[in-house]
Structure 1
Amino acid sequence: MTHTSNNPSAIRSQKWLIEALLSLLEEKPYHKISIKEIAEKANLDRSTFYRHFDSKQALLEQYLDSLAQEYLRRLEAGENMDMGKVSKIFVAFWIEHIDFIRLTRKNDLDSLLLKAFNKHLPSIHRLTKDKFSYSMNEAYMEIALAFNAGGMWNILMKWVDSDFKHSYDDLIKAFEEISRFNFFR
């Protein structure tokens, strides 16, 4: 659980704690990182950590949620959306966060990342439903969103597992091919 606050000092402390965790992840496995180490790396007391977070997972989840919010803002800014445009936003977003995605996969934390993004699927739908030239039956929307999110997620993980051997253009072409395969007869 995260203890939210609008206090600038609290926001700054949370940011430093997140940066400390991300830095430590580059040095050692997640399961070997202690809260004490995170607080020390952030030049804060453990009590400051616990004032904002109940656990290091809560700290990580706040960061994951911030990534999801950033992705949502990018989708919201898009116009005349289709799956090609969604895939371009998705791939470009993760290319910017490639080091983090590599660390999450290496530490078996990618399921937390997927969970954070799945939590925002209703918001993604709400933000984008009027931007597509076609509309889907609302009764099936939740299932369709899960299908698309799972497919996009698995492509991203396949890309990570291949040590990023495919280019941005390769990934976009794959998304386009999949869209044609799934939606055109």
Structure 2
Amino acid sequence: MTRKRNNPSAVRSQEWMMEALLSLLKEKPYANITITEIAEKADLDRSTFYRHFHSKEAVLERYLDQLSQEYLRRLDAGENMDMGKVAKIFIAFWIEHMDFIRMIRKNGLDSLLLKTFNKHLPSIHRLTKDKFTYSISEENMEFALAFNAGGMWNILMKWVDSDFTYSYEDLLKAFEEISRFNYFR
């Protein structure tokens, strides 16, 4: 886990290591990247790496947490939410991070991304629960969050696997049709 988040020098070093790892991911598979390479690419030494992170996965988790926080900020800014608006925010967010999500999938790290976003589901609920025009009982909220997150996640992975051949509009149209299909009558 990262430490010393409030020390400007420590935060800067952590940022450099995240940038180094992301840069190395463009050059080679995640499994072949070493901590020494990350430290060298960041112009730091291994001891500095270990002062802030216990593994290269922890570096990636820090970046994924930052992405999650940005997504949460976008959801928080939304008004009169419904799942269509959530889908628009979700898809637009990942369009901006296409290269990253492609790298993650290619390296078999998508489960780490899902784990990180699932960790933030309670925050998503807290941010959005009063913005929806309808509500789900608290006893079923965890199921609803898991259901929606899983569906959105699988749509995202299908999109990545298709090499992003579907447009933003295609994905929204699919989401709308799926939502109508899943509506109980």
TM-score normalised over the length of structure 2: 0.98
Residue 72 of structure 2 aligns with an amino acid whose one-letter code is: L
Establish whether residue 31 from structure 1 lines up as the match of residue 16 from structure 2.
no
**Moved segments of 4+, more than 2 Å:** none
Q: CA deviation at 1:5?
A: 2.1
Cα distance per residue 1:103-159 (max 9 Å; x no partner):
000000000000000000000001001100000111110011001000000000000
Task: Tell me, in whole angstroms, the C-alpha distance in 2 between the residues paired with 1:181 and 1:81.
Answer: 20
- Find the counterpart in structure 2 of residue 72 from structure 1: 72
Letter in 1 for 2:74: R
2:31 equivalent to 1:5: no
Deviation at 1:184?
4.8
Q: Which runs of 5+ in 2 are unaligned?
A: none
Is residue 2:146 matched to residue 1:146?
yes
The Cα shift of 1:175 comes to 1.0
Number of residues of Structure 1 aligned to a counterpart in Structure 2: 185
Matched with 1:15 is 15
Superposed counterparts of 1:1-185, under 5 Å: 1-185=1-185
Work out the percentage of aligned pairs sharing the same amino acid.
79
**d(CA) in 2 for partners of 1:180 and 1:81?**
17
Structure 1 residue 35: Cα displacement = 0.2
